[in-house]
Structure 1
Amino acid sequence: MTQLEIPKGEIGQIRLFAVNRPIDKLARDLRDGSKEALIADLLGRSVPEGSAELFPVSDLTGVGLARYLNDGYAVPPDQISRDRARLDALDGYVLLLFSSAFEGQETTLKLGPDLTMIGTYGETQPDMSVIPLEAESAQPYTGAADMTPKSPPKGGAGGMMVLLAVIVLIGLILWWLL
């Protein structure tokens, strides 16, 4: 039994497994049951919906698994190139397991004979660098502090609104009674 250690807080990783069950048996299991139940059976644990993908490689005819990972999941080509021969040789079913399956928790995944680990691939992360703001107005505490609070408007405007609301309310009551 192979063990995989998933670190706490992992994001953006895709684990690819070859499924070592007969294709016709898997197709029958998928037809007769749910995909989520079959994924849970293969992994020995349930995972949140959408955090794993199980499909036959033949579904990618014309595209290929390598291009699917690159185009569909933004896996950089240099990561794919190291395993391209293995990816091209795969047939039958494969399982993609995303970091979201572990919900940020440190996990030990125990793999049985039904799964063979092919590789772990990192999705391209967006550039999160920040351009420094150098304008004077962007600097902290550059505005003139106004320490006096705004005073409410003076005059009868507030009283007039209350009087108008009372008149409307009386009018509605009279209309309802008649």
Structure 2
Amino acid sequence: MTLTIPANDHGLIRVFKVTDPLPEGLSDRTPEALLALFGTDTLDPTYIDVVDTRDLSGLTLLDYLNQGYDIPPEAAVDPALRDLHGIAVLIMSRASAGRDVTLTLAPQVTHVTTTGAPARLTAPAAPLTSDAATGTVTGSKAPPSNAAMSGRVATIALLVLFALVALMIWVAS
């Protein structure tokens, strides 16, 4: 089975169940282990999490996703996610580093679900070409406001008063 993470993917977590045999270095997310499971070593392991549900100390995988990744509790309605036990690999959108990545799943890997809040906005693919987007902005620097001028006058007055007080103390001593 193949699965493609698109280049513009954002905010999603793909959940995979992995059964035995586990590749060497999976818990460390080594490129070799990722290549053995997903058919590619171009994924950024910083954005991949390997979770053994038996090590969650009383938490369910849903609790872990809710507390660690801010996945809303509504994800609990997904029975595939609710019933997942054993080794789970979580691949975040950022693991693809902004490029299309095709995953070729090994026989012991099953795509359980994709969860999260996808991005609602995308950047324009091409530069803006309208007449309003061309040209340069002209004009000079705006004159200082009345409040700015009052602040400058007050600062100068305080400096003069400081100098007078310092002079009076120096003469008196």
TM-score (norm 1): 0.58
| Secondary structure of 1:29's aligned partner | coil
CA RMSD of aligned residues (A): 2.7
Change (3 A) 1:42 1:72: same
Cα deviation, residue 3, structure 1: 1.8
User: Is residue 102 of structure 1 aligned with residue 99 of structure 2?
Assistant: no
Q: 1: distance between equivalents of 2:51 and 2:76?
A: 22
Equivalence for 1:55: 51
List per-residue Cα deviations over 1:130-163 (Å, max 9, x = no partner).
xxxxxxxxxxxxxx8339xxxxxxxxxxxxxxxx
Equivalence for 1:111: 105
Match of 1:145 among 142, 146, 149: 142
CA contact (8 A) 2:10 2:118 kept: no
User: Is residue 122 of structure 1 aligned with residue 116 of structure 2?
Assistant: yes
Unmatched 5+ stretches in structure 2: 120-140, 145-173
Q: 2: distance between equivalents of 1:109 and 1:35?
A: 15
Cα deviation, residue 123, structure 1: 4.5
Q: 2: distance between equivalents of 1:106 and 1:49?
A: 16
| Residue pairs, 1:1-178, within 5 angstroms | 2-22=1-21, 26=22, 29-30=24-25, 34-36=28-30, 37-46=32-41, 47-78=43-74, 80-83=75-78, 85-123=79-117, 145-146=142-143
| Secondary structure of 2:24's aligned partner | helix
Aligned residues: 121
The residue type equivalent to 2:33 in the other structure is L
Unmatched 5+ stretches in structure 1: 126-143, 148-178
List per-residue Cα deviations over 1:34-70 (Å, max 9, x = no partner).
5323233211111213121113111113111001111
Q: 2: distance between equivalents of 1:40 and 1:75?
A: 27
Equivalence for 2:157: none
The residue type equivalent to 2:20 in the other structure is R
CA contact (8 A) 2:12 2:118 kept: no
Of residues 85-94 and 48-57 in structure 1, the stretch that sits farther from structure 2 once superposed is: 85-94
CA contact (8 A) 2:29 2:48 kept: no
